[in-house]
Each structure stands twice: as C-alpha cells, then as structure tokens.
Structure 1
Amino acid sequence: MDNRKVYLNNHTNLLELEEHMYPLVDVDTPNVFRNLFRYDEIPKIAFNDRIVPHHMPDEIWITDTTFRDGQQSRAPYTTDQIVTLFDYFHKLGGPNGKIRQSEFFLYSKKDRDAVYKCMERGYQFPEVTSWIRASKKDFELVKDLGMKETGILVSCSDYHIFYKLKMTRREAMNHYLSVVRECLETGVAPRCHLEDITRSDIYGFVIPFCVELMKLKDEYNIPVKIRVCDTMGYGVNYPGAVIPRSVPGIIYGLMTHAGVPSEYLEFHGHNDFYKAVSNSTTAWLYGASGVNCSLFGIGERTGNTPLEAMVFEYAQLRGTLDGMDTTVITELAEYYEKEIGYRVPSRTPFVGKNFNVTRAGIHADGLLKNEEIYNIFDTDKFLNKPALVAVSNTSGVAGIAHWINTYYKLSAAHQVDKNSELVAMVKSWVDNEYAEGRVTVLTDDELIAVIDDACNKLKITL
C-alpha cells in the first residue's frame, strides 16, 4: 500500500506525489565513480536520459567570491583595494541588489579591516558575509563582527570524506551537523559549501545530509543555505546526463528530495572544462536562486564563473538588467589594470581590450555600413566601449574609415567614408608599412601621427 501524500506544488500548480525518503548510505569503501573518473583517462560524460523539469525561481541573483576564492590564486588585495572594489560591486548591482552578497576571509588583520570598512558603508547590498573554518572560535568572530551569515566547508565526495578527512560517511555527516548546530547556536546563519559535489554520491550522502540540514533550519528558525560547489569543474548541463555530473540532476534532487528552497540554493562553478558559465546559467534555470562568481573569473586553478558574464546572462534570461549598471564592468577592468597591475587577456568577452575589435577588412566594411552586422550589442551604451577596427594590412579602406570615425567620435554629419581623400592617404601609408616587411598591427599613436600629418596637408580638421 502506498501511503505517500499527494500535495499541490505552488510553483507548477500541479498535484505531485510525495517522494520517497533517502537515508544515508554508509559504505565501507569509498565510491569514487571509477566508471566516470579514471585518473589515467579523460573523465567520461554518461547519459541515462532521465530528464528533469526547468524550475526558474521567481527571483535570481549573483553572489561574489572575489575576496575569498578570488584571493586564493593571486597576491592578496590591499584593504583599500577591497573597499574600492566593494563600492564598485554596489554600483554594478544596482538598487535592486542583483549582486546580493560578497564573502570575505577573516583570518588576517587586513581582511578584518576590510570587512569593518565595507560594513561601515551601510549598503544593503552586497551583504558582507564570511568564509571560516568550522570552529567555535571562528563562529564567535563572525558574531562579534556583526555578520548574519557565514560559509562553512562541508566536503561531500568520498574523495574528501575517506581520503582527506579519514572518516566514514556517517562520521562526516555527524561531524558536519554538530558544526552547523554550533553555528546556529551563535545565531549566525550557516551557508554549507558542499565541496566536490560533482564527484559525490548524491542520493547516498548529499540528499540525506541536506535533509538533516533542513531539519536544523526548521528547528532553529534560521536559514541554512546550500552552496553547490562544482569544485573540479566536472559539472555538465546536458539534459539526460547522469549524476553526479548533471547540474540539472543535482539541483532537482536538492529541491525535490531534500526540500531545499530555491532562495537557499546557490551554485559555485569552476572552469576546468570551460563550463563554468553554462553550468551557472543551468543552475538558475533548474531552481537555484544564486550563482556565486568571481570578478573576471579569477580563482583557484582555471578560475570561477566570471561575475561580469553572469550579469549579461541575467539580462538575456530575464529581458532586463533590473537596475544593474554594466558600464561599471569597464571601470573595474580599467581599475585592475591601472591600480592593481592585472591586465585582463585582450580577447576576454566584455572586458578584454580587443573583445569588440575586428581586424578583417570585410568585417570592417560591414561595421562601416551598419554596426549591428558585426557587434554583439551596443557595446558603447552598455560598456562605454564602441566597436573598433584594428588597422593592419587586411583592414582595407573601410577599416581605416571606421577607425577614424570611432576614435575621433565623429558625428554622422562629419564622418569620413572609404572614398575620402584622407582615408586614401592613410591607406597608402599603411600599404607602404607592410610592403617593407611589417607584420604587427598598427598602434593608435602611429595612426594619430599619420592622420594629423594628412589633415595638415589637406587643410582639414577632425
């Protein structure tokens, strides 16, 4: 006899049958999914064609780990740099707080000074949160600083439980639950970082563990958040892929079988297989309200999901920026280069110096006729970066004309076309440069000097 309850799902407005409970499956030997993860072979992506439904939350947002995971792979930021970047995040996130939180280390005086100064700003968003070791002393530090939430590392794959912690699954679960309870006793909301979830036993450990976490949430009436950490970048977004690599499958399982609400679910991706952005977007689509990102993707190994990428993913999914100021992204890139000494690779989408620069002559001709042909959107409007043409031996007269019009910001009435005498003179000089053996793209300074000389000879001004 099936005694499971039938209930109404308020999100889909469909009657659903209560799912079976999933108890902890304790094992004597670790399940490291050798069928998928043989260390001497490339990891495999397997399919069973079990499809789970989209479940986009009513509200989605971005959280930031630039000062935590982002600092694990580069020289630490100074206190002043952290505060400046925090101000930028506040401006970028806009009045609706689309950049919801920013997490900090608390171990050094520099980090704590930055936390104090950021909290003194009085911003509602981003909320200042922390990442700590699982100890009573650290919990008290979080409470003393006035934080309402902190991240706690709860590694969940057998790789970590057996090989790193030297525990059984039951020992690990009991240890984690005691740590989370200690955190709740201090009145601080725990954010449980399920490290290495894409190599874990989802229904044998993760779901049973999260069921217990939700019980603690109800017992203390304090939020308990779940961060889905794709620590090694193994997650995939393909429909029908098997768990533990299936991001849709993981999110569905946590919501449906562990009862984790969307607003308490957050995805944290790494880019080892170039999937951080697509996996983060997938987490939104299947029910996680939050995606955790690092500015420019700077993070451990290949890095995290780039924060700026998810700003534009948000706009594409929701049809609006909801108040986010995307021009701040360009300001941030300039700040990193001038003040921090970090140069974003030139072809990086949205922020690289050449991300919207074309070198092909035929493309330049299209840009000159209609910018929409070869530019992804109005990059001048959203990023203060107009589409540009790099002048070389392949740019042609159209490329030179476009460069002049864009660089000098000439109005429509004063723009030059590819048949103008000025363009012909510059083209002649460019051809001569490459005829003499040049192989590099021309610099702005060189072009300015040539254009100035040509304008003097033609007795015109731009």
Structure 2
Amino acid sequence: MSNVYINDTTLRDGEQAAGIVFNAAEKVAIASLMDIIGIPELEVGIPAMGGSEAEAITGIVNSGLKASLLGWNRAVISDINASIACGLKRVHIAVPISDIQIKAKFKGKTAVVWERLKSTLNFALDKGLFVSVGAEDASRADESFLIEFAQYAQDLGASRFRFCDTVGILSPLTTTQKVKKLVKHLTIPIEMHTHNDFGLATANALAGIQAGATSVNTTVNGLGERAGNAALEEIVMALKQLYKVNLSINTSRLRELSQLIIQASGVKLPPWKAIVGDNIFAHESGIHAHGVLKDPQTYEPFAPEEIGWERRLVVGKHSGRSLLINLLSQHGINLDYEESQKILDSVRHLSVQMKRNLTTEELLDLVTNRRISHGIV
C-alpha cells in the first residue's frame, strides 16, 4: 500500500453533484491549493462541454501546477480533440460495460463497446497522450466481460484501468473479491472509483487498495453525484493513520481545503463529518471532556493540528464539573464545589431550553448574572 496514488476528481465528479457550479476562478483556486498540499493528479473537468468549462480547464493547464492534469472523456474522438484543445496531455476514456449501461447507451450492441474503445484509445495514443480507461458500472458488469475488457484496454496501450462502482452497490468484501481478480489479469495500475450511495465509498476504496489497486479517485468533502464519492480527507487520513502510508501530502491544510470547497460549492457539511467536520474535535460530554483534559488520546484518534483544526471544549446539557471549572479558570474565575454545581445546573437547564451548547460569552454572562443576583459581585 506504500505506492498509493491519489487522483482527485473534485473538479469533475465533485462538480457533477446536483446544483454545484464552480466558476473558472474557483476551479483554478481549488486546483492550486490541491497542488500546493501535494495531490499528485487532478481530474480537472470535461473538456467536451466547451464554453466556460473549457476555459476553466485551460486556465488550470496554464497555471504551471506540478500536479498531473487529466480530462474526462466519453469514448468519442471529438471528446479527445476537446481535451487536446485545452492543452491536456492526459485523458481518461470512460466506456459503459454493464448490460444495463450498454443497453441504455449503445442499444445493447456490445460490439460498439470494443469499437469505441479501440478507435478513441488508438487516436489518443497517436496524439502522444497518457490514457486511462474507465469501466463505467464495472461493479454490475459480468465479471468475465469486465476482465476481457480490461485486458483489451491494456493490450491496446492504456496506462491505467479505472474500476468504477458507479452506483455504489459494493461492500468491502465484494470489492476485494472483484479487484483481486482484476489484479491477477492486469499489469497496469488499477484505480478505484467508488460512490457513497450506501455510505461505503471510503471503505470500498480502501478495500480495493488492500486488494491491489494502486490508484484511487477522491473528492474533497466527498462531494459528487447523488450521495457523493470517497472523500479525499478520509482516504488520506485513513492511509496515514490506519495503514501508516506516507503520501507526502500536507494534511495540515486539509481543513483549509475543505472550507474552500464549502465556500465554492455553497454546501455546508454536517458538524459530525469525518476528519473535517466542525465537531470532530469538539467535546461536551462530561466523561469525554474529563478524559481529554487529562490526555487527548483518550477520545481523539489523532491530534487536531494534523488537519489544521483545533480542539474545542464546550459546555451544554451533557457537561460535567471538570470541564466547567477548566473553562472558567481560563477566564480567571474560580468556583468552590457548591457554586460550581449550581452553575452547572444552570448551564444544563439553559442548554435544554436553547437546544444547543452555550457559547463562552453566554457561560460568562450566566456566571456574572448569578453572582450579581446573589450579591457576590
């Protein structure tokens, strides 16, 4: 697993999420930050769309990034020409290979699959391009047909093969089984492209890597079609923390990258979102806060600084006296046992009324008002 290669598709599959639009400046800014933090390859969009999409892709190409840049294409020669016109040197060619997809797109004519792949791949290679071939809906394709298709792509000269769980129907076990079979038959790298329809995109991508895939598609915040894709921050941190794989990616800027995508997409994250959510290092529960105050490792899998975030201790319905005393002492307020218990009771009561935790200002106001009412101040 030490050779895992990230190919982020936030600017292509991420933007294909319903209602998401990145303008050219945003696309360049996103690509630039991903390049700075060390993402080695970016799938920058669909050149065949033309117009502002082609302008944005060309802008990224002309930005002088170190990352390799890839354009997504159908198995159509005009798509390849559009990628070339944008200045791209690397192309991905997607071909539907499940019976469902072939029936819908090629009227059930399997021969068209072979013809399209051969004509577009040969054309791209003749133009000196790096070619990645993707088996769209591979997870629902006949396995013998999938292997035959993958071998044909390899024999024609494809440099990488993308295994697509297009509608997210795999589990880690089935992913492992399917990818292992592909690995046995191919010598070119296999890339995982997983969707999150059943909440398994990251797990399936990691299962594919464990089975021998060496490349993986990701999107920042898991943005993507329907339920989204395998999240960049989840894949990177899982590889780093769980598998001890060094991808040479500056993880301390993952939170910053996440916030940039939130701003550009207009889509907020739930606070409990893995790795980059607001609450990932927030502690309110008395038991948890007490443990974290003694040793952060009691309830944190890694330090917040690793992703560019910070630990937050907040008071609310579930807080205990240790947390309350700690927070107030930071503001020069020291309470005896009786007073701290009464303040805690008030905190819990107010938190229930407001249906949220208290801000620091609200906590300080509560203490001040209580002391005034009792003639302490």
* Residues 104 and 111, structure 1, Cα contact 8 Å, conserved in 2: yes
1:252 aligns with 2:180: yes
1:105 aligns with 2:46: yes
| Structure 1 residues 446 and 338: CA distance shift in structure 2, 3 A | farther
Structure 2 equivalent of residue 78 of structure 1: 23
Structure 1 equivalent of residue 151 of structure 2: 211
TM-score, normalization: structure 2? Answer: 0.88
Q: Match for 2:147: what amino acid?
A: I
Structure 2 equivalent of residue 357 of structure 1: 282
Q: Match for 1:314: what amino acid?
A: L
Take 1:145 and 1:340, find their aligned partners in 2: how far apart are those partners? 24
User: Secondary structure at 1:438's aligned position in 2?
Assistant: helix
User: Secondary structure at 2:11's aligned position in 1?
Assistant: coil
Moved more, 135-144 or 65-74: 135-144
- Of 33, 43, 49, the residue aligned with 1:88 is 33
User: Secondary structure at 1:421's aligned position in 2?
Assistant: coil
Counting aligned pairs with the same residue, the percent is: 24
Cα drift, residue 320 of structure 1: 4.8
The structure with more radius of gyration: 1
Take 2:341 and 2:51, find their aligned partners in 1: how far apart are those partners? 58
User: Secondary structure at 2:172's aligned position in 1?
Assistant: coil
Cα drift, residue 178 of structure 1: 2.3
Structure 2 equivalent of residue 421 of structure 1: 335
Cα drift, residue 198 of structure 1: 1.0
Ranges in structure 1 where 5+ consecutive residues have no aligned partner: 1-55, 218-222, 239-245, 458-462
Cα drift, residue 64 of structure 1: 0.8
- Of 379, 392, 395, the residue aligned with 2:319 is 395
Cα drift, residue 433 of structure 1: 5.2
TM-score, normalization: structure 1? Answer: 0.72
| Structure 1 residues 423 and 266: CA distance shift in structure 2, 3 A | farther
Q: Match for 1:227: what amino acid?
A: R
| Structure 1 residues 336 and 214: CA distance shift in structure 2, 3 A | closer
Take 1:270 and 1:339, find their aligned partners in 2: how far apart are those partners? 22
Take 2:26 and 2:53, find their aligned partners in 1: how far apart are those partners? 11
* Residues 343 and 367, structure 2, Cα contact 8 Å, conserved in 1: no
* Residues 388 and 403, structure 1, Cα contact 8 Å, conserved in 2: no
- Of 120, 138, 141, the residue aligned with 1:200 is 141
Count of aligned positions: 369
Q: Match for 2:273: what amino acid?
A: T
Structure 1 equivalent of residue 295 of structure 2: 370
Cα drift, residue 322 of structure 1: 4.0
| Structure 1 residues 153 and 316: CA distance shift in structure 2, 3 A | same
Matched ranges for 1:175-186 at <5 A: 175-186=116-127
Structure 2 equivalent of residue 440 of structure 1: 355
Matched ranges for 1:120-135 at <5 A: 120-125=62-67, 127-135=68-76
Structure 2 equivalent of residue 276 of structure 1: 201
Structure 2 equivalent of residue 236 of structure 1: 171
* Residues 388 and 402, structure 1, Cα contact 8 Å, conserved in 2: no
Cα drift, residue 442 of structure 1: 3.1
| Structure 1 residues 121 and 401: CA distance shift in structure 2, 3 A | farther
Structure 1 equivalent of residue 241 of structure 2: 316
Matched ranges for 1:15-94 at <5 A: 56=1, 59-73=3-17, 74-93=19-38
Cα drift, residue 212 of structure 1: 1.7
Moved more, 100-109 or 63-72: 100-109
Cα drift, residue 346 of structure 1: 0.6
Cα drift, residue 289 of structure 1: 1.2
1:155 aligns with 2:96: yes
Cα drift, residue 269 of structure 1: 0.1
Q: Match for 2:35: what amino acid?
A: H
Q: Match for 1:328: what amino acid?
A: R
User: Secondary structure at 1:391's aligned position in 2?
Assistant: coil
Cα drift, residue 211 of structure 1: 1.8
Structure 2 equivalent of residue 10 of structure 1: none
* Residues 117 and 153, structure 2, Cα contact 8 Å, conserved in 1: no
Ranges in structure 2 where 5+ consecutive residues have no aligned partner: 373-377
User: Greater helix share, 1 or 2?
Assistant: 2
Moved more, 101-110 or 84-93: 101-110
User: Secondary structure at 1:291's aligned position in 2?
Assistant: strand
User: Secondary structure at 1:67's aligned position in 2?
Assistant: helix
CA RMSD, aligned part only?
2.8
